[in-house]
Amino acid sequence: MLGFIGFTIAALIIGFFAISFYRSFTALNEHQRGAFSAAFLLLSAAFFIWGFAPLINDADTTKLLVLAGDGLLLVGSGLLVLAQFKKLYLIPVIVLAIAGAVLLGLRAYIFEPAATVSDGLLHFNLEGEARVTLLAILTFVWVPLGARITQLAVQAKGVPQFSGIVTLIFVASLVCAALFLGARQNVTVIASFAALALSFLLMAFIPLLIGKYARVVASAKKGARSGK
């Protein structure tokens, strides 16, 4: 039950971040903003699905739930790649679809999930190629590509001075995600999960705060022009 509650809270926080990003950074290219937000909504859905594993606590069901969440993570990774373009192109979509299908097939039939539930917590127990692949996806897809979109969003909002702190918190949240997914001990699982939830909670409110700050600055500039 503890794991289900934790995953559900994390899913809600990540989902809130995705929605707040989409609603706050309207100056960003529509396709990039939509693809980025959709990627994190899928990550939110993956966490929600994984949360049912400790709730049901059945070995076969746990494997299926982990595989389903991994599938959403792969689709989200593809959306982050597509978010780098200002419009949708067919060739990247086809290449990503094929690559995603191959990776999901390997995960399902060659490197099957070995996740287990212990003391109400889900342990992913990633080993070998599965662990390397997941860390590579987070390191070379989610971190740099996601950071680039957040920087573009902040710059488009007209407050480039916030680029550094937004990128730092974003990268920290994904590092926490990597630590959580690779954790083996209960203490490490709980600590990394708490850090992950906190970092995404900060990320969720930052777009709203930046949006409010940008409106105040714009209003002040407008008032200054009117007074001249």
CB atoms within 10 A of CB 222: 10
Has residue 161 got a pLDDT over 80? no
Average pLDDT over residues 122-132: 78
Tokens of 162: 């916030």
Q: Which tens digit of pLDDT belongs to each residue from 34-45?
A: 999 999 999 999
Q: Per the domain annotation, does 227 fall within a domain?
A: no
> 95 in a domain, yes or no?
yes
Is 228 among the domain residues? no
Does the pLDDT value for residue 227 go beyond 60? no
Q: What is the per-residue pLDDT for 46?
A: 93
| Residue 79, pLDDT score | 95
- Give a yes or no: residue 170 inside a domain: yes
User: Is the confidence at residue 73, as pLDDT, over 80?
Assistant: yes
Average pLDDT of every residue of the chain = 84
Q: Which range marks the domain in which residue 13 is found?
A: 2-222
Q: What is the secondary structure of 132-193 as a DSSP string?
A: HHHHHHIIIIIHHHHHHHHHHHHHHTT-GGGHHHHHHHHHHHHHHHHHHHH--SHHHHHHHH
The number of folded domains in the chain is: 1
Flag whether 160 is in a domain.
Answer: yes
